[in-house]
Amino acid sequence: MILTDITPSSNPLELDTHIHDADIERLFGPTGQLGSAVTSYRPRHAQIEMAKAIAQAIVGQTTLIAEAGTGTGKTFAYLAPALLWGGKVIVSTGTKNLQDQLFLRDIPAIRLALGAPVSVALLKGRANYLCHFHLERTQQNGRMTSREDVGYLRDISRFIKMTNSGDKAELSQVPETALIWNLVTSTKENCLGSECQYYQDCFVMKARKEAQKADVVVVNHHLFFADVALKDTGIAELLPSANTVIFDEAHQLPDTATLFFGETISTSHVLELCRDVLAEGLSHARDGAEWAKLVVPLEKAARDLRLCFPPEQVRLSLPQIPSSNEFFPALETVKEKLETLLGTLEKQAERAETLDQCRVRALALLEQLKAWGKEAPPESELIGQECVLWVEAYSSSLQLHRTPLSIAPIFNKQREGSARTWIFTSATLAVKQDFSHYTSQMGLLEEKALSWPSPFDYAKQGLLYIPTGMPEPRSFDYTDAVVDAALPVIIASGGRAFLLCTTLRAVKHCAQRLRDEFEKQNLTFSLFVQGESGRTELLEKFRQSGNGILVGSQSFWEGIDVRGEALSLVVIDKLPFAPPDDPVLAARINAMERQGKNGFVHHQLPEAIINLKQGAGRLIRDETDRGVLMLCDPRILSKPYGARVWQSMPPFTRTRELKVVEDFFHSLKTQPEE
């Protein structure tokens, strides 16, 4: 269908400055282009008002912060104006899954409905694209870590001959978490660039060229900020020509930007360098050094550095590491062994391009290690920024971080320059319609912020249940009390439940308790637990089970869309406050308190409320959904800040009586089918 009275500019960089509210109302109205072309579309007042605000921001090339409750239809509200009047548009979303959904489903639907002749490209980070060079090298070297990898390598070798994009998401039979991907994709450090013999066929370069030519480019937040920090994703070239930048799931930006505006060195980087030096040394300069004897001491030093901390995950700021800890001498050993390796690489680098690349990587790593623990290096974005230095130990690696306490000045610097539209949208940006927490984090204090409510009738569609008799969350037996309180509700709902926990330890404990209770009471519910398989697989099995209980932590609090009867109960174990001993949080609170602010009131509480709103948002996903949100944490009623939490939640009917909940589920079972 071609629009008659609303047409995009023929030149995508030439913005239309005459958009009227009537244009938007016709577009989104009952007889408009969207209603005629999109199945099950129906006009929503909040969606129309949001689209008007975005259209006006595009006209004025201004910034808009737009919170839209679940069910508003915010994707169409920003896509329609952007495709028609946005010029060159970058749309950034929270995850690769949402990126694929936008590119494969939402944008094609709205482009068809509008008859908008815009070209669209999908751009991901280089680790998502097969690398011809590294695949060939892996096939020749045969450095497989498992029998599974051998089979996966065969699949990948066939796939590369058939794919146009090289996107590993298209090869579903090889799990995204398979270790083989590390051997057949490139990193910024080991990419040969224009020196590569396969440069003309490179999937990364093809994706970037398509993005350069396209009117609309779909990226994700990690890619966007990796580019700003590393200048390695192609967005640095895209941004200058973009008229409109839209961040969907914008509540994730502070954490993502903090990750990339900081600096991180990992023992994994050292071990990957050792692996590549050994392979390239034996391939191109076998007589130049005893390569195995050269890399083994560095590998040992990197592993010893990790062993300075307990086996479980640990996060410590630099001042929290005791001077008696072996960490400091172990770090010096890593630097010494790396210097020795670098000395040999400098002598042998001219024998092969790949060896020279290893030399460059070793030099960069050594400089980073020497700079960590000191003031920000001269070329760093972090100059003049207050930072926290901290270490994070995982099961097999150790990361050294330098993290800015505020990303606002750095992000504002990136927004300087050419005038363009910036849209920040999500279902959870405000606390009781107060955007100040978000705007202060992002440096958007003077920008326009608007909120539109969800169209759902929460009072009729759901219950908010807070059980009585719960102990304080710090109690030793708190997680057991959560399971005891949740079990009768799970039975009443017939399963079909998410149990969302604030820690992985609680996930494991809840899962084990539920298994024991199901066996003891002869209950036949299907149990799905985070970590026992991938997120996508768990969700698919949960949807199909009909009576499943899924137990998960942070990765299941947001970005999950389970509609209909498959999900009728969401249980949240406690208010999602970040752990107070988190080194970055502790440093931020100290900085706020030096400014006379209350760290809890101005940071921890609004963060927890926004996270809680995300978790609660899993329950009601459309107008026909019905269900119960169960909050187990008694602090929502007992603490003075509880009222602020209540007032920020969807307006469910509230109860503290289990009988009311059981009657609610019974009424759902006895309702006649529509």
Asked, for residue 394, whether it belongs to a domain, the answer is: no
Q: Is 137 helix (H, G, I), strand (E, B) or coil?
A: helix
pLDDT per position as a tens digit, 217-267 = 999 998 888 776 665 555 566 777 889 999 999 999 999 999 888 888 999
Rounded Cα gap, residues 371 and 445, in angstroms? 33
Statement to judge: residues 189 and 333 lie in one domain: no
- Asked if 135 and 233 sit in the same domain, the reply is no
Q: Is residue 660 part of a domain?
A: yes
CA-based R_g, the chain, Å: 27
One domain for residues 277 and 355: yes
% residues pLDDT > 90 (the chain): 57
- Tell me, yes or no, whether 348 lies in a domain: yes
Same domain? For 74 and 87 the reply is yes
Residue 160 predicted with pLDDT over 50: yes
Give the pLDDT score at 100: 87
The answer to whether residue 280 sits within a structural domain is yes
Confidence tier at 1 by pLDDT (50, 70, 90): very low
Q: Give the rounded distance of the alpha carbon of 222 from its chain centre.
A: 7
Residue 391 lies in a domain: no
Q: Are residues 343 and 218 in the same domain?
A: no
User: What is the rounded average pLDDT of the residues 274-284?
Assistant: 90
Distance CA 460, CA 664 (A): 11
Hey, what's the torsion of the CAs at 425, 429, 434, 438, to 10 degrees? Answer: -100
Looking at residue 27, its pLDDT comes to 87
Q: Look over the chain and give the mean of its residue pLDDT values, rounded to a whole number.
A: 88
Query: CA-CA distances (angstroms) from residue 38 to 49, 113, 372, 434, 562?
Result: 19, 7, 54, 34, 21
Q: Find out whether 506 and 473 touch, Cβ atoms under 8 Å.
A: no
- Give the pLDDT band of residue 8 (cuts 50, 70, 90): very low
How many C-beta atoms surround the C-beta of residue 41 within 10 A?
19
User: Is 105 part of a structural domain of the chain?
Assistant: yes
Q: What's the total number of domains in the chain?
A: 4
597 and 474 inside one domain: yes
What's the CATH number where 282 sits? 1.20.120
Count, residues in the chain: 674
What is the rounded CA–CA span in Å between residue 340 and residue 351? 19
pTM value is 0.86
- How far lies 586's CA from each of 78, 261, 372, 578, in Å? 37, 19, 20, 10
Q: Do 218 and 199 fall into the same domain?
A: no
**Does residue 471 share a domain with residue 364?**
no
Q: Give the pLDDT of residue 384.
A: 58
pLDDT in tens, 188-221: 778 888 888 999 999 999 998 999 899 999 999 9
pLDDT for the residue 375: 57
Distance CA 211, CA 234 (A): 8
For residues 487 and 581, membership in a common domain is answered with yes
533 and 624 within one domain: yes
409 inside domain: no
How sure is the predictor about 142, in pLDDT bands with cuts at 50, 70 and 90? low
Structure tokens at 425: 């949208």
Q: What is the CATH number of the domain that holds 606?
A: 3.40.50.300
* Residue in this structure with the two tokens 């099961």, named with its chain if needed: 395
Q: Point out the domain boundary residue: 455, 487, 519.
A: 455
Please, are residues 73 and 47 in contact by the beta-carbon 8 Å criterion?
yes
Whether residues 518 and 612 fall in one domain:
yes
Q: Which domain holds residue 322?
A: 263-380
Instruction: Please identify, among 380, 404, 426, the residue that sits at the C-terminal boundary of a domain.
Output: 380
The answer to whether residue 531 scores a pLDDT higher than 90 is no
Provide mean pLDDT across the span 120-138.
91
Please, which pLDDT band fits residue 6 given cuts at 50, 70 and 90? very low
Q: Which two tokens stand for residue 563?
A: 């509609």
Same domain (yes/no): 638, 597? yes
Q: What are phi and psi of 407, to 5 degrees?
A: -95, -10
The reply to whether 433 falls in a domain is yes
Domain boundary among 424, 455, 486: 455
Q: Which residues make beta-bridge pairs with 27? A: none
So what's the pLDDT on residue 470?
A: 96
